[in-house]
Structure 1
Amino acid sequence: MKLSADLAAFQTRLGHIFAKPDYLVRAVTHSSMTSAHRDDNQRLEFLGDRVLGLVMAEALLQADPNAPEGLLAPRYNALVRREACADVARQIDLGAVLKLGRSEMKSGGRRKEALLADAMEAVIAAIYQDGGYDIARKAILRLWGDRIGNVADDARDPKTALQEWAQARGEQPPAYVEIAREGPDHQPVFTIEARLESGQCEQATAGSKRHAEQAAAKALLEKVNS
């Protein structure tokens, strides 16, 4: 099978030339494009998630042989969660080569974080099936790059950290209030305010409620700790 010019160029960005290009084609095919003659990437996402998890677990153990599980777990979560996968996908412009149905195209599918993250996991699985575990491991470590070495010692989600801060002081868990929602339905922008029982608060704006809540929690945590 001969790849299209855009997928051939994507291989270069990815750093892996497929011996069996069918794996790559399937990895970039979203479920909105499925038909009786075309498989989507959902099963590959399932496999890629596990391959990525094993590679990151090994890398973290090797990077810090003395770190306890309580410290390794948040670092691991920071490296394999949706945001990290989507960030790597954007780094190699994976969105540009995704095969999407018309409705998904119209709704801005090439920019959707969840879709990019799932496709990145599918591409990892495709590399694994094409070249084996060692090839996939090298590709993942190259793509994630400095993210592994620079992952914070305490990589907890800011919302978790803020909640623990409040509970340690006898306060109720923080509240998150949607202040505004702007933009089209396919690309909304949210402004969220994080509030503590004590009355302290901070706002943040992002393209998803999750990101806005995290950013607001981080800003508030920095405020109360300053």
Structure 2
Amino acid sequence: MAHVDFEKIEGILGYKFKDRHLLERALTHSSTGEEYSYQRLEFLGDRVVGLVIAQALFEKFRQENEGGLAKRHTALVQGATLTVIGQAHGLNEFIIFSNAEKEAGGHQNENIISDVVESLLGALFIDGGYEVVRDVILRLWGDNIETLVKAPQDPKTELQEWVQARGLPLPVYQIVSRDGPDHAPVFTISLTVQGFEPIHQEGASRRAAEKTAARKMVKMLKKEK
């Protein structure tokens, strides 16, 4: 069994697994070469979260028509939302990778994070049943269930809209360096917005570094308001 702080992740989820091998499987990326990985549990978790969110919306918004419920549902189960939830609760830090995938920035890969959130929910469903996984989803999603009507915006788009609304030049992204081996490159980029301190950010790809930098810049700009 891989070294995983089971008690810590169980504390985040608010549930103690009867079968910790199932929890381990939900966290295991295919890069490890193990005979099992999280993909089958992800398939199940995708269906589970869809049902739980649909039920929650049906009960909370009794006067809303089908179209309104569908819009909310789409926003709440999209990959971008799952990624934000996974990062907010630190679930991505528990994913089990090969060394190469870890060095390539796997713990910050947004697609992997959203997949693992689903696989964990699939594991919760198998180990604890519907009521358990429903309670966990409602707690992890929190107020988003009532307030989120569209998926979280791409941080680069959000930053661009912010500067345009204030008549500023567009953000400037530049590659500072590219290091590491070909199978696990590390890109360092700089992000500049006129009138503010630039941000330097590393990432496993240029796109990943730019998105993380944009997210940090947006957070900083909101504090400046």
TM-score, normalised to structure 2, is 0.68
Q: What does residue 71 of structure 1 align with?
A: 68
1-structure distance, mates of 2:112, 2:151: 24
Q: 2:84 matched to 1:87?
A: yes
Q: Is the 8 A contact 1:18 1:24 kept in 2?
A: yes
2:46 corresponds in structure 1 to 49
Q: Over residues 22-76 of structure 1, what are the superposed CA-to-partner deviations in whole Å (9 max), with x where a residue is unaligned?
A: 11000000010133xx410001110000000000111111111121122112211
Which residue of structure 1 lines up, in the alignment, with residue 17 of structure 2?
18
CA shift in 2, pair 1:135/1:158, >3 Å: closer
Partner of 2:106: 109
* Mapped partners of 1:90, 1:158: distance in 2: 15
Q: Check the 8 A contact 2:78/2:151 in 1, yes or no.
A: no
- When residues 63 and 189 of structure 1 are mapped into structure 2, their CA distance, relative to the original with a 3 A threshold, is farther
Secondary structure of 2:5's partner? helix
How far apart, in 2, do the equivalents of 1:188 and 1:56 lie? 38
Mind listing any 5+ residue stretches in structure 2 that lack a counterpart?
155-171, 179-184, 192-205, 216-225
Q: What runs of 5+ residues in structure 1 fail to find an aligned partner?
A: 160-178, 192-205, 216-226
1:6 paired residue number:
5
Q: Which stretch of the first structure deviates more once superposed, 107-116 or 64-73?
A: 64-73
**Counterpart of 1:72 in structure 2: which amino acid?**
L
Q: Verify the 8 A CA contact 2:29 2:95 in the aligned structure 1.
A: yes
Could you tell me which residue of structure 2 aligns to residue 223 of structure 1? none
**2:32 paired residue number:** 33
What is the Cα deviation at residue 6 of structure 1?
A: 1.6
2:168 — aligned with what?
A: none
User: Is the 8 Å Cα contact of residues 41 and 123 (structure 2) preserved in structure 1?
Assistant: yes
Q: Which amino acid aligns with 1:136?
A: V
Q: How many Å separate the matches in 1 of 2:14 and 2:4?
A: 16
Distance 1:21 1:157 in 2: 32
Q: Are the aligned partners of 1:108 and 1:187 in contact in 2 as well (CA < 8 Å)?
A: no
Structure 1 SS opposite 2:16: coil
Separation of aligned partners in 2, 1:65 and 1:190 = 48
Taking a change above 3 Å as real, the CA distance of residues 64 and 139 of structure 1, as seen in their structure-2 partners, is same
**What is the TM-score normalised by the length of structure 1?**
0.68
Query: 3-state SS of the aligned residue for 1:16?
Result: coil
- SS across alignment from 1:19: coil
Give the RMSD, CA atoms, in angstroms. Answer: 3.3
1:182 correspondence with 2:155? no
Alpha carbons of structure 1 residues 69 and 138: separation in structure 2 relative to 1, 3 Å: same
| Number of matched pairs | 180
8 Å CA contact retained: 1:74, 1:156: no
Where does residue 136 of structure 1 map in the other structure? 133
- Paired residue for 1:121, among 118, 122, 125? 118
User: Matched residues in 2 for 1:100 and 1:156: separation?
Assistant: 28
Matched to 2:109, the amino acid is K
1:190 Cα deviation from its structure 2 partner:
10
